[in-house]
Amino acid sequence: MRCREGFPPGPGPPLLPRGVLLLLGVCNAFSLEIKASPKVQAFIGEQVSLKCTFKSSSPISDRLTVDWTYRPLSGGQMETIFHYQSVPYSTAVGKFKDRISWIGNVAQGDASIALQSPVMSDNGTFICSVKNPPDVYHNIPQTTLTVMERGFSFQLTSTTLLSILVFLPSIIVAVLLLVRMGRKFGVLKEKKKTGYKKSSIEVSDEPENPETSRCLGKLRDWCLNCVDSDEEDPY
């Protein structure tokens, strides 16, 4: 269904029914949907990717264009730093000269770029714009880039804190067991070094072997029988 630009002539101003207003709203809706990461963290000197994806209601054609613009964190004018139409065109002037590379694939709805060797002065807002005629109207997502030094990038997240609280007691118990085993091993080693032997009257802690006990019992009974036989022998 097409959006009409006028209404049939008639007496008086035309009244707009609710259905017509709804139709006008649909016609004015975005025909392109673009998504980009709202915040991106980068490290000085390390390449960072600026992701941008899109969905178009029209087939991808050679007329599709991608434009990336940049505004410094302190504000100021927007400047175009990248343009794509069939082939990528990186900016040849300005602070991003020779530092922007194309990593997207328009056939898959990807309009991402990469920034080489970021510095802290690159902090600012990046905007990805895609047009695929006749789809030219779209939302305007913004990506805020924050560049920092790697040494100051550690953050204690809730997941990391929870992992520490869960595994810390287990680690403490394991360390205590290792210490106790080490002490016991040291005592045994010291006893062996000093020639420690059990006394003949020292009671052994180890349980007796059932077979040994049975043999000793039979030997004791035999000896008792021998003694009884000698005592009962008549003169």
pTM value is 0.54
Residue length of the chain: 235
CA distances from 167 to 2, 156, 161, 175, 177 (A): 63, 16, 10, 12, 16
C-alpha–C-alpha distance, residues 235 and 204, integer Å: 46
**Which domains does the chain possess?**
29-152 (2.60.40.10)
pLDDT tens digit at each of 235 positions of the chain: 434 333 344 444 444 455 434 434 444 456 789 999 999 999 999 999 999 999 999 999 999 999 999 999 888 889 999 999 999 998 888 899 999 999 999 999 999 999 999 999 999 999 999 999 999 888 999 999 999 998 754 555 556 667 777 878 888 888 888 887 877 777 777 767 666 555 544 444 444 556 656 666 666 676 566 545 444 444 4
